[in-house]
Amino acid sequence: MSAYIASIVSVIGINMILALGLNIITGFCGQVSLGHAAFYGIGAYTAAYLAKLGAPLPLTLLAGTIMAGAIGIVVGLTSLRVRADFLAVTTMGIGFVFLGFVRKQKWLGGELGISGIPASGLHPVAYAALIVAFALGVIALTLWIKRSWMGFTFDAVADDEDAAPTVGISVSIYKLTAFGIGTALAGLAGGLYVYFARIILPDTFDFVQSIAILTMVVIGGTGSVWGVVAATIGLTLLPEVSRAASDYRLLIFGAMLMLVMRFSPGGLAGLVKRRAAS
């Protein structure tokens, strides 16, 4: 495997972890989040900061995951207060608050971010394999969640928040769980990204990134694990396939978001299901 392919595989793996994490919050539990990149950033900054202090890789990844998950639960508290459209704008706001904070912190490198991050100690191919292993683990985890008791309660919360308590579901606890798991996964992706890129900039974690992650989830089909996996691979490879696709990456993302939602709100997964049914 060449270094080029290893880097593409790494990016696909990281995007997959991000998209599957958001899929738990938005797809399973029905809470629209427009600020997922902030948690990606929290994980990355935590891992990068500790790595610069000399912490070993397993510790930095763990710290990034826990930090993002913990802040994610705090942000999840807002979902108990505000709903639907309010929540979408609030989570978008969290993204801007995170960026605005990081940009002004000298100890986090301000606008210039953190550079000179120590190497992972693994060969790029071995590191790509590590990322893929994590991504496979996340696929297994989300498949398991979907079929577990917790998955059904998420479904109930997504479907009708007011009816869920009548069958004994504590809506708040499951919402917070969804936020906790989803954002922790974003933190893990952030940690993995740190050793892959070895430099992090605030702008990597901006609103556009949040939308890019949302695009993967929506185009794959919100709530469908395999749909999201397929969309992540497709959308990550797209800019690599042709020069034109890379120049107009955002344009293509935007157009796809619009067209998929306009004609098949269930995404690719919805399309496949409809085919199978007819």
Beta-bridge partners for 114? 200
Task: Render the burial of 26-42: b for 16+ CB within 10 Å, e for the rest.
Answer: bbbbbbbbbbbbbbbbb
Size of the site for other proteins (CB under 8 A): 37
List the one residue from 1, 112, 244, 261 that touches other proteins (CB under 8 A).
261
Close Cβ partners of 118 (under 8 Å, ≥ 6 residues apart): 51, 52, 54
Residue number with CB closer to other proteins (74 or 126): 74
Number of H helices, E strands in the chain: 12, 0
Residue bearing tokens 């880097």: 7
Beta-bridge partners for 200? 114
Largest Cα separation within the chain, whole Å, is: 59
* Under rule CB under 8 A, residue 131 binds other proteins: no
Q: What are the structure tokens assigned to 128, written together?
A: 């790509």
CA 72 from centre of chain: 12
List the one residue from 4, 86, 144, 152 that touches other proteins (CB under 8 A).
86
Residue number with CB closer to other proteins (59 or 84): 84
Stretch in the footprint of other proteins (CB under 8 A) among 64-72, 130-138, 139-147, 257-265: 257-265
List the one residue from 8, 66, 78, 129 that touches other proteins (CB under 8 A).
78
* Under rule CB under 8 A, residue 84 binds other proteins: yes
Site string for other proteins, 138-177 (x = CB under 8 A): ----------------------------------------
Q: What angle do CA 169, 171, 174 make, to 5 degrees?
A: 95
- Whether residue 88 contacts residue 32, with contact meaning beta carbons closer than 8 Å, is answered with yes
Residue number with CB closer to other proteins (27 or 124): 27
Could you list the residues that contact other proteins (CB under 8 A)?
32, 78, 81-82, 84-86, 88-90, 92-94, 96-97, 99-101, 103-104, 207, 211, 214, 218, 248, 250-251, 253-259, 261-262, 265
